Amino acid sequence: MTIDLAVVPVAGQGTRLLPATKSQPKEMLPVGRKPIVQYVVEELALSGIKRLLFITGASKTSIENHFDINGELIQYLRETGREDQLAELDFERQQMEYFYTRQRRPLGLGHAVLCARPLIMNQPFVVALGDSIIGLHAQSKIVQRLIEQFERSDDIKAVVAFEEVPREEVVRYGIAKPRGEVDDVFELEDLIEKPDIDEAPSNLAVAARYVFAPEIFDMLEQTPPGKAGEIQLTDAIRLLLRNGAKGIGVRLAPEERRYDIGNFESYFEAFVEFALADPLYGEGLHKHLQALLNSQRPV
Ligand code: G1P
């Protein structure tokens, strides 16, 4: 049976995006017309995911509301003849079952994934970080490619998406130590969470999408706090590899750029890029930006 279950951690506090995230989840910030997490869900649907477990935290209820069916709003739009606006709610009806559980203590990404254990038990599953969009307008099937690799052999217990990053950015990500040649698909020898530049074994950065065998839960149980005093998913994968499991890396294609909405710099860039590519508003914005830049206003 192919994997149709994904865990989407959305419990992070988004402190690097304050004050915007003081009382709303960073995953609900819009990029172009949609909130970030809607792109993540649409991407997962494209790869055949049918069941989705959000790991949420305090002040994240608007995520639940967003994926619920808002009967009152539908009725209002129908009664007032706003069919085009009604079409914007089509995503509510997409074939996806949603489940929610809370990470009650902020102990890190690894701990958030471990919160899924009682519900996932013995099934392989996808992890997709709720603050990263893959590809312009999330038109990526990276998760499907990860699942295909995972299903190649029973020895494979983890498959991870990677993106090449400039050397100075390795300090922000989990970094791969590949075994042998690096092609679009490669074997993982080791992984290091946010290494110093001179310690980084490559510039291949973990890109927010993973597939795991349920054995990852045992590793997470044994993983002590690491970087930032948090239980790191990267450290649990490392443990899995050290215990003889096989790990595979899959590189994102050049058009599958990762938009990591963790700080204002990358958030602004993503917003502008998505808005410029908007079929309705992109051209107008393009002209506006061009005029603005040509006027060379002092900044
Ligand atoms: C997390 C992971 C890191 C990964 C990154 C982007 O870090 O710990 O390994 O590279 O997401 O996918 P965070 O951005 O939560 O600090």
Cβ within 8 Å of residue 155, ≥6 positions away = 245, 246
Domains and CATH numbers, the chain: 5-295 (3.90.550.10)
Task: Output the 3-class SS for 240-271.
Answer: HHHCCCEEEEEECCCCCCEEECCCHHHHHHHH
CB-ligand 1 contact for 231 (6 Å cutoff): no
Residue 296 has pLDDT above 80, yes or no: no
The pLDDT tens digits of the residues spanning 23-47 come to 899 999 999 999 999 999 999 999 9
Cβ within 8 Å of residue 225, ≥6 positions away = 107, 108, 231
**What average pLDDT does range 243-247 have in this prediction?**
96
User: What distance in Å separates the CA atoms of residue 165 and residue 173, rounded to the nearest whole number?
Assistant: 9
Q: Tokens for 143, please give them.
A: 């998760």
Residue 86 has pLDDT above 80, yes or no: no
Q: Which of 134, 173, 204, 232 to mutate to test the pocket of ligand 1 (most atoms within 8 A of CB)?
A: 173
**What average pLDDT does range 46-63 have in this prediction?**
92
pLDDT, residue 223, reads 95
What mean pLDDT value characterizes the chain?
92
| 127: number of Cβ within 10 Å | 25
pLDDT-derived band at 20, boundaries 50, 70, 90: very high
CB-ligand 1 contact for 227 (6 Å cutoff): no
pTM: 0.93
Weakest-pLDDT range from 34-43, 55-64, 245-254:
55-64
Query: Which among 76, 57, 69 has a CA at the least distance from the CA of 15?
Result: 57
User: First CA to last CA across the chain, in angstroms?
Assistant: 56
pLDDT, residue 128, reads 98
